[in-house]
Structure 1
Amino acid sequence: MLLNPYFIAEIRLIIANARENAARAVDHQRALMYWYIGQRIFEEEQQGKDRAEYGKYLIRNLAQELEPELGSGFSIRQLERYRQFYRMFPIVSALRTQFSWTHYKLLLPIADEDKRAFYIAEASKNLWTARQLERQINSLLYERLLLSNDKEAVLAVAQGEKLPVIPQEVIKDPMVLEFLGLKREAAYYEKDLEQAMITHLQDFLLELGNGFSFVARQKRIHLEGDDFFIDLVFYNRLLQCFVLFELKTHKLTHEDLGQLQMYVNYYDRKEKLERENSTIGILLCTDKNNAVVKYTLPQDNQSILASQYHLYLPKEEELTKLLKEDMERFGTLGHEN
């Protein structure tokens, strides 16, 4: 007698969920263990007359006792990290059950409290794995959002205290697309870029940010005998609007902006429901001239954005430099009469 395949699939799902929950529980218990170790080290070292010297002596001698028996997880460096863990997160009930110790190890080096709070909120809200959190930190997600927002707004959106109302609050510039696997030196076509995004759609959605859902690729528009095709169509439930992507493997031109403006106008007039907000168009390009963007589009433009993309994960200093240069260019343009 053959068993119902749906029954077998359900049993397998129960087993997989139980194993996942067990692994998550173990990870959380490990983080709790390190927190309590850090707490006891901190409390003990406070009893020394010369606290700094006593702290070094305490950790060094504790490591000599524990490491031979329990391994490298109890070395001097690790014990110092556990103490730092306790001092950075002094309330045990505030620890996130979905975070593993690896999550916390990634958060510990972040000295800026607002920046750390941002990553905690985003990782918790979006159920980021430790690997996803590492990728977002390394790609300077926080700094990229700060380029067009103030610190309070970025943190408020991340912590769910306010919904984004303008596209700049969720759209990043530049975007980092190293997960596509395209080499920056190699020749590739726009269709290659589009196909890579579809193949790595989950990673692309992570890079796009909160609230995005995929709708269509190469969306056909028929206008009195002429056919046009929008590269990618998404919907953002937070902004409550369609988001259209045009992909360019060259530096942005004013013709590119005009083409995207036509697509946005079409969606606003033919696809958008009355209760929805105006469509947003994003031109994803290898390079852009902010002055061209400014003078091609209306002064009150909120519907068309140009975002530069990188096919590799830049070093922090390199990406910081790029962000600084962009901020300076925006500042110069913003002060023109």
Structure 2
Amino acid sequence: MSDLIQPKGNSLFDRVVSILEQARGNVLRAANTNMVLAYWLIGREIVQELQGGQQRAEYGKQVIEELSVRLKTRYGRGFSTTNLRYIRTFYTVYADRHPEIRQIGSGELSPDSIRQTQSGVLDDLSMAVGATTAFREFSPVLSWSHYQVLMGVENVNERLFYEIEAEKEGWEVEHLKRQIHSFLFARLLKSRDKAAVMKLASQGHVLQTAADAIRNPYILDFLGLPEADALHESGLESAIIQNLQSFLLELGKGFAFVGRQKRLQFDADYFYVDLVFYNCILKCYLLIDLKIGELTHQDVGQMDSYVRMFDDKYLTPGDNPTIGLILCAKKNETIARYSVLNENRQIFASKYMLYLPTEEELRLEIEKERRLIESAIEDDSEGGEHGER
């Protein structure tokens, strides 16, 4: 049966256009997937040739240069020595893959072999657990350009995560690059728990609880705002609205914009929530309060009140409890530990950064978050022990 879906519409022209567009899309996907497979096979041939020849750098260079000249003579552009080295690297990175293209709709991604890895931020935090599962086949919706970007991710857990997310969310190549450069995988990890790393790497980002929807920090470099004392909360809010599409991508999957400066009335007093979103996966609202300075107890108490009032006045049947997120320039660890943030699983505080962080800056941020989580776990454990006595 063809992959073409029977089009519906009143116009013959519209129906014909629908068929042609689907057919062209199928042709493009087939071309992309066959190119990926061909490059994997070519890379394997190059690697096997080099392994069977002389173990000298000069020999490898000569083999690739000669192959490049002959391929360009026959096929033209696309087979420079640089590209052939990329193709060879592609095979070495994905040598454990099954040389087939997985069909769309064929089911879950299947596990293959176990691989070792050491790299960057995750190793520094002991989060790179050293082994994970790989896919047996390549994605039918990711192009050679996607895989060129993915090859640059050394840590296998990170690489698998980005491949899954790029496929599931339909990321363009440029968006994939940004997510990698902003360390999305590391920002989503909230502990050093091995099972959590394995789950994120093998399943992608799955939203099941309010905590799953929160990142720390949020990278807002696309706003083009300076790190300056003159920056006001209203300016930050306006910049987010002007770059709403980019902010939604940074916010994460499933979010839709509801409004800004949402008015809440309590008796004769009025309060205003900076930004309101709705998550279609978790079926709940997200309230965001923007803070230019450091997190304070007043900020936490205010957000707690906002969430309670919002739940009381705006929730409808089917909605889950509202999430409150305080986005601040600096997250105070003491306040985060000894406030409602440590007790209420629906209220969070995260730092925002107006620039892409370095690996060291991100490592320090994740270290802080890990300490907060470990402290919360210790507090829960102590409370349970006291309750049993």
Fold in common (TM above 0.5): yes
Paired residue for 2:43? 38
How many equivalent residue pairs?
332
Query: Distance between the aligned counterparts of 2:186 and 2:302, measured in 1?
Result: 30
Q: 1:206 to 1:98 in 2, by over 3 A?
A: same
Paired residue for 1:80? 85
Correspondent of 2:273 among 206, 224, 230? 230
Paired residue for 2:120? none
Paired residue for 1:3? none
When normalised by structure 1's length, the TM-score is 0.83
Whether the aligned pair in 2 keeps the contact of 1:250 and 1:286 (CA below 8 Å) is yes
Query: Distance between the aligned counterparts of 2:339 and 2:225, measured in 1?
Result: 30
* Matching of residue 307 in structure 1 with residue 350 in structure 2: yes
Alpha-carbon deviation of 1:208?
Answer: 1.3
Q: 1:152 to 1:66 in 2, by over 3 A?
A: same
Amino acid at match of 2:67: L
Query: Distance between the aligned counterparts of 1:321 and 1:293, measured in 2?
Result: 16
* Matching of residue 109 in structure 1 with residue 152 in structure 2: yes
What is the identity percentage for the equivalent residue pairs of Structure 1 and Structure 2? Answer: 40
Paired residue for 1:263? 306
Query: Distance between the aligned counterparts of 1:113 and 1:23, measured in 2?
Result: 28
Paired residue for 1:287? 330
Q: 1:272 to 1:35 in 2, by over 3 A?
A: same
Correspondent of 1:202 among 245, 252, 261? 245
Query: Distance between the aligned counterparts of 1:316 and 1:139, measured in 2?
Result: 9
Q: Deviations over 1:138-194 (max 9, x none)?
A: 000011111347453355357558953333322101000111121223723222212
Q: Which moved more, 1:236-245 or 1:120-129?
A: 236-245
* Matching of residue 277 in structure 1 with residue 357 in structure 2: no
Whether the aligned pair in 2 keeps the contact of 1:35 and 1:86 (CA below 8 Å) is yes
Question: Helix, strand or coil for the counterpart of 2:351?
Answer: strand
Query: Distance between the aligned counterparts of 1:185 and 1:205, measured in 2?
Result: 24
Q: Deviations over 1:60-83 (max 9, x none)?
A: 432354467767743333212212
Amino acid at match of 1:312: Y
Whether the aligned pair in 2 keeps the contact of 1:117 and 1:155 (CA below 8 Å) is no
Whether the aligned pair in 2 keeps the contact of 1:291 and 1:333 (CA below 8 Å) is no
Alignment of 1:13-92 (within 5 A): 26-48=31-53, 50=55, 55-66=60-71, 73-89=78-94, 90-91=97-98, 92=100
Q: Deviations over 1:239-265 (max 9, x none)?
A: 332111011111111111111100111
Amino acid at match of 1:112: N
Whether the aligned pair in 2 keeps the contact of 1:175 and 1:308 (CA below 8 Å) is yes
Whether the aligned pair in 2 keeps the contact of 1:122 and 1:159 (CA below 8 Å) is no
Query: Distance between the aligned counterparts of 1:18 and 1:250, measured in 2?
Result: 54
Q: Deviations over 1:291-320 (max 9, x none)?
A: 112212164321110010011112333323
Alpha-carbon deviation of 1:118?
Answer: 0.6
Query: Distance between the aligned counterparts of 1:284 and 1:136, measured in 2?
Result: 20
Amino acid at match of 1:96: S
Q: 1:317 to 1:49 in 2, by over 3 A?
A: same
Correspondent of 1:126 among 169, 182, 189? 169
Q: 1:192 to 1:270 in 2, by over 3 A?
A: same
Query: Distance between the aligned counterparts of 2:209 and 2:192, measured in 1?
Result: 10
Query: Distance between the aligned counterparts of 2:242 and 2:205, measured in 1?
Result: 33
Q: 1:250 to 1:21 in 2, by over 3 A?
A: farther
Cα-Cα RMSD:
3.4
Q: Give structure 2 stretches of 5+ with no counterpart.
A: 1-9, 102-136, 383-389
Higher normalized helix content (fraction of residues): 1
Q: Which moved more, 1:314-323 or 1:44-53?
A: 44-53
Question: Helix, strand or coil for the counterpart of 1:227?
Answer: strand
Q: Which moved more, 1:213-222 or 1:295-304?
A: 295-304
* Matching of residue 297 in structure 1 with residue 302 in structure 2: no
Q: 1:308 to 1:299 in 2, by over 3 A?
A: closer
Paired residue for 1:217? 260
